[in-house]
Amino acid sequence: MKATKPRTSRPAVAPRPTKATKTITAPYDTADYLKTEGDMVGLLEAALEDGHPQVIAAAVGAIARAHGMTRLAKETGLNREGLYKTLSGEGNPELETFIKVIKALGLQLHATPIAS
């Protein structure tokens, strides 16, 4: 008589891939998280410590959006659209504009010596 091979189950098959799901994200805006003056001061101090002009402009822009850009435009006498552009990461605000905005935001800059 012939020896019969024991019956084995079928080889494991990988499960079919399920339909791909899309990850939905919302745009991130730092201004949404600046709730207190302390938050704003902390962001500006960190940006000034970084020292990169675009980082500083972007930080002031986020603080300005949290403050209200229309209100800031009225307080500084500057154009709202121009403020958005100037205070973006790609902007390069003139010193006069920067000082007007800082004052209108109720902030003040201080100089301290760099630790060696």
pLDDT, tens digit (0-9, with 9 covering 90-100), for 76-106: 999 999 999 988 878 888 999 999 999 999 9
Distance CA 68, CA 97 (A): 16
pLDDT, tens digit (0-9, with 9 covering 90-100), for 50-74: 999 989 999 999 999 999 999 999 9
Q: What is the pTM assigned to this prediction?
A: 0.74
Pair 109, 74: CB distance under 8 Å: no
Q: Looking at this protein, which amino acid is placed at residue 94? A: E
Distance CA 102, CA 108 (A): 7
Pair 65, 58: CB distance under 8 Å: no
Pair 104, 72: CB distance under 8 Å: yes
Predicted confidence band at 9 (pLDDT cuts at 50, 70, 90)? low
What dihedral angle (degrees, nearest 10) is formed by the CA atoms of 78, 82, 87, 88?
A: 170
pLDDT, tens digit (0-9, with 9 covering 90-100), for 25-58: 888 999 999 999 999 999 999 999 999 998 999 9
pLDDT at 3 over 80: no
